[in-house]
Amino acid sequence: LKPAAHALFKKLKDEELELLVQVVESRGAWESACVLAPRGDPRGVKQGLPPQVLLCRLFRWPDLHQSHELKHFCYCTGCQGVCGDLAVLCCNPHHFSRLAVPETLPHSYLKASCKHENQRMEPAFTPDRRKRCWHGMRGSCWGSSLCSPLPDTTLSRSTIKDGCWCKLAYWEYRTRVGRLYAVHEASVNVFCELPWGSGFCLAQLPAAYRSCAVRRARGKIGRGLLLSREPGGVWAYNRSEHPIFVSSPTLSAPGACGLTVLKVLPGYSAKVFDYEWAGDRGGWQLPGEGPCDPHCIRISFAKGWGPCYSRQFITSCPCWLEVLLNQP
């Protein structure tokens, strides 16, 4: 990559080079401006890599090959050129994330797990009970096999009127900590300790008692994640040094017999909610899971849950986030 990188650096202005050095040295800790590079003609370069792929491969992901493996951040203004100038584009390596690919289990495992869950858990919920829980507990914990009286986090009419597109609820096991956080901007950072930017700082939420497991998990949140509302859906980008685990109704295929939990590695992003797909689903239920809110995303920090883990439900995870969406 050395000849291609040197050829690109020669085309950058001094201020673009200085910005690139700051971004690389800070490893994207701060929200930075675009590093603009001329599109040029890659045929003269031996590797033939676009500028954004070249720098992402050089400074972040050596195994990166194609531009379709990358996704621009929503706040990047140089993804399609700036102010209509299509001759330049952003090549800031920390304005990109890699696309997360769902992990697939062997078919025999999924079939056996589905059968086991149906036999073991289905009698716990009758249709009448599911209906009562659905109407009375939107925004509470849906990962429990029983409808326990958890705090109601239902989005009220006033929430819809004040213009926020979602509210965030932070949980430690089965206890919600702090108040709901309303999100009005197109994107929001969720992180643990200051000063990792502006947004939802979990360190500001008081708790009477935290177990050792919760404190260890909170120590792994770090820069946390970036949630963004974009055309068609909601995206989550993992800014931390540890995986996050995500579930939502639109991550599971129609008629799925089990919960789909997507593992998102550091530096990766995933479309965690699809508005169009959700509009066709209506009420949503899973065997053993009870009623599921069709407009709710659940994200666990560092700890996974589901068929592949000892934790069957998200309420067994020490630190997790609930994203309550307003219907567009």
CA–CA dist 250, 279 (Å, integer): 10
For residue 25, the SS3 value is helix
For residue 287, the SS3 value is coil
- Residue range(s) of every CATH 3.90.520.10 domain in the chain: 1-98
- Residue range(s) of every CATH 2.60.200.10 domain in the chain: 166-281+291-325
Instruction: Give me the pLDDT at residue 171, please.
Output: 96
Instruction: Give me the pLDDT at residue 193, please.
Output: 81
* Rounded average pLDDT per 10-residue block, the chain, 328 residues: 90 93 89 83 58 93 91 81 65 93 49 41 34 37 34 44 86 94 94 79 89 95 94 93 93 71 95 82 56 85 90 94 88
CA–CA dist 252, 274 (Å, integer): 11
> Is the C-alpha dihedral spanning 255, 261, 267, 273 positive or negative?
positive
**Strands of the sheet with 268-274, listed across from one edge:** 70-72, 96-99, 268-274, 233-238, 225-230, 187-191, 199-201
For residue 135, the SS3 value is helix
CA–CA dist 293, 140 (Å, integer): 9
CATH superfamily ID and name for 1-98 = SMAD MH1 domain (3.90.520.10)
Instruction: Give me the pLDDT at residue 255, please.
Output: 63
Topology adopted by domain 166-281+291-325:
Tumour Suppressor Smad4 (2.60.200)
